[in-house]
Amino acid sequence: VLCVSEDFDFFYFVQQWPGSYCDTKHSCCYPRTGKPVADFGIHGLWPQNKDGSYPQNCNPDNALDEDQINFPAGVEIKVVNLTDESAWTINVINTGLCHISIDRNGQELGKDNISDLTSSLQKDWPSLSCPSSTGFRFWSHEWEKHGTCAESEEIDQHGYFEAALKLKEKANLLQALRNAGIQPDDEFYDLGSIKEAIKDATGFTPGIECNIDPSKNSQIYQVFMCVDISGSEFIECPAAPKRRCASKVQFPKVLDDCMLSS
């Protein structure tokens, strides 16, 4: 069967605030690999249409393969800069841990680490659902539901996760908010000033989704940013995500112990 990915207009890049995932009706368990730092975490990179519709589960035959998000082991020889003889190098990518450049005489020019995506995903895309997991199931779910609808030569499994990690780095939400005096300290902040702070830092207005904590407070739960179909550049949202918040919303602390919901 020939599978052709559906078309879409842009992406929502969605990040979640762990404090708000954990203090609601969701039960919540920190990852097996350790408590994540108190920062926004990636939820997903979701293909989206301007009319509010979105494709999902576009290719059930393309389950996430662990080897694709770690650099495949093996040796890859890549010849670069062939035109300029003086800079002629061969990159030898060995077991996936490092990348060595040598010149035409076999002299080593340099080594650097190749980021293996798993450690970055554990840090920036932790799964907070119960029972504690490594995150792989959450990443698989997001790839299968959303990623398969964006498949292209660049956005293969590795490219999808790499794109999301780069976007998170580009939009440092916690820093953006801190710069505006907005901190995860259980205080209430103006929804407008939260959006403004993120706009000031990234150039683009986010969508904010709230959820309700056990004391019935509206709190910042997810931040939606819009991204072009290449998955690399933020754009002004062609269609704002339809999510509701009160005009003043709480920015909760991240608790040390996550498993308090029943």
Beta strand extents in the chain (DSSP E only): 10-16, 41-48, 76-80, 89-93, 98-103, 108-113, 188-190, 207-212, 218-227, 234-235, 248-250
Segment lying near ligand 5GP (by CB under 6 A), choices 69-77, 125-133, 161-169, 247-255: 125-133
Closest CB to ligand 5GP among residues 25, 104: 25
In the set 13, 138, 143, 160, which binds ligand 5GP (CB under 6 A)? 138
DSSP 56-67: ----TT----HH
Instruction: Quickly count: other Cβ atoms within 10 Å of residue 42's Cβ.
Output: 21
**One symbol per residue from 49 to 68: x for binding ligand 5GP (CB under 6 A), - otherwise; what is it?**
-----x--------------
Catalytic residue check, 146:
yes
Cis omega (within 30 of 0) for bond into 131: yes
Structure tokens at 48: 């989206």
24 binds ligand 5GP (CB under 6 A): yes
C-alpha span between 15 and 26 (Å, rounded): 16
- Among 144, 146, 162, 209, the active-site one is 146
Only segment of 66-74, 92-100, 122-130, 164-172 that touches ligand 5GP (CB under 6 A) = 122-130
Rule CB under 6 A: say whether 207 interacts with ligand 5GP.
no
Q: What are the structure tokens assigned to 243, written together?
A: 């999510």
Residues contacting 245, CB < 8 A, separation 6+: 191, 208, 209, 210, 218, 220
Query: Per the structure block, which two tokens stand in for 145?
Result: 């539901």
- Which one, 93 or 225, has the nearer CB to ligand 5GP? 225
Of these residues, 142, 144, 151, 162, which one is catalytic?
A: 142
Q: Which residues pair with 101 in a beta bridge?
A: 91, 110
Distance in Å, CB of 258 to ligand 5GP, minimum: 10
- Binding-site member from 15, 89, 101, 127 for ligand 5GP (CB under 6 A): 127
Q: Does 21 bind ligand 5GP (CB under 6 A)?
A: yes
Among 35, 99, 145, 178, binds ligand 5GP (CB under 6 A): 145
Residue ranges that bind ligand 5GP, judged by CB under 6 A: 12, 16, 21, 24-26, 43-44, 46, 48, 54, 127-129, 138, 141-142, 145, 211-212, 241
